[in-house]
Amino acid sequence: MIYTVTLNPAVDLLLYIKDLDPGKTHRAHKEYIFPGGKGINVSRILNRFHIPSTALGFAGGFTGDHLADRLNREGIQTRFIKTAENTRINIKIKNEAETQINGPGPNLSEKQILDFLAAFDNIDENDWVVLSGSKPASLPEDFYQTLVEKLHRKQTPFILDTSGEELRNGILKKPFLIKPNQEELEELFGKKHNTMEDYLHSGRKLLEMGAQNALISLGQEGSLFFADDNIYKARVPKGKAVNSVGSGDSMIGGFLAKYLEKKDLLESFRYGNMAGAATAFTEDLASCEEILSFKKDITIEKIK
């Protein structure tokens, strides 16, 4: 079974307005409501390829009920620990730019945390786990590390998509794949990345630190993939992106979907870029048909 972990899921409210003038009343001319959270996005992309997964996390209140119901109606199994407080709402306001206002997430009790860990302990070496996104402030600082260590002890393959110290510590436990973007990479190594050589040096360093494979997403500049001594660069179609939120999560979903089918890293890299590019040009996460339509538009070259 594939498990995706979203410790601080959300209901995403996307509002389109003509102009954003602080202090004034605005009327949106278009709105969408989507399930939110990085791990949840991965589950939804896997579902596009008819690959079942179980979404783990915390959810509660009317927003938590809506989230679980929406995912269940899409055919995605959920195993959320019930919280007393509402699942957060993340507001995304779109006009010429995008403004995001993210809720803080619930205050979790000790019992809720222990219940989650008990469910997590049922995962074994035959499963796959995707750990991604932020965590509520009420979780212990080292909670990600606790989860990663449990997976490492059981030799459960896992994908890690987070940032900062959680990424730094998690790499040491040999994740199958990590997917930092430019900002996360610069935060991890404490320096700006201005040249291709900067990215190549950091990508190699990620493998030296413990990652089995590393996918560095570069937005409209495509992405880099590091596997053993091989380095590949993918080029993606350029254009005005519609969806800046789920593209990276779609990359992970597309990569994992193809890897589980073929066990071919390079083809998985291609499908990850297809999924990421397709989602960038859609309001919600891309459909399977939209993802497959990008196959001819992704070019991959071996750098080293």
Question: Is residue 60 assigned to a domain?
Answer: yes
Q: How many domains does the chain contain in total?
A: 1
Question: Is residue 72 assigned to a domain?
Answer: yes
What the block records as the tokens of 106 is 């619930």
SS3 36: strand
**CATH classification at residue 15:** 3.40.1190.20
Please say whether the beta carbons of 5 and 128 come within 8 A: no
Band of pLDDT at residue 291, cut at 50, 70 and 90: very high
- Distance from the Cα of residue 209 to its chain's centroid: 21
Tell me the pLDDT tens digit for each residue of 25-64. Answer: 989 999 999 999 999 999 999 999 999 999 999 999 999 9
- Annotated catalytic residue: which of 65, 228, 249, 284? 249
pLDDT at 270 over 80: yes
Question: Is residue 61 assigned to a domain?
Answer: yes
* E strand spans, the chain: 2-6, 10-16, 30-36, 54-60, 77-83, 88-94, 98-102, 128-132, 158-161, 177-178, 213-217, 223-227, 230-235, 299-302
What the block records as the tokens of 6 is 């979203």
Question: Is residue 265 assigned to a domain?
Answer: no
Separation of alpha carbons 13 and 186, rounded Å:
30
Question: Is residue 161 assigned to a domain?
Answer: no
Does the pTM surpass 0.85? The reply is yes
Please say whether the beta carbons of 298 and 255 come within 8 A: no
pLDDT at 252 over 80: yes
Question: Is residue 150 assigned to a domain?
Answer: no
Phi, psi of 244 (to 5 degrees): -95, -5
Range(s) of the domain holding residue 101: 1-39+56-124
pLDDT at 94 over 90: no
Question: Is residue 193 assigned to a domain?
Answer: no
Question: Is residue 281 assigned to a domain?
Answer: no
Q: How far are the Cα atoms of 69, 125, 134, 267 from residue 157, in angstroms, in the given order?
A: 29, 7, 20, 19
Is 124 among the residues known to form the active site? Answer: no
- Whole-number percent of the chain with pLDDT over 90: 89
Residue 155: the pLDDT is: 97
DSSP symbol at 200: H
In DSSP terms, 158 is beta-bridged to 129
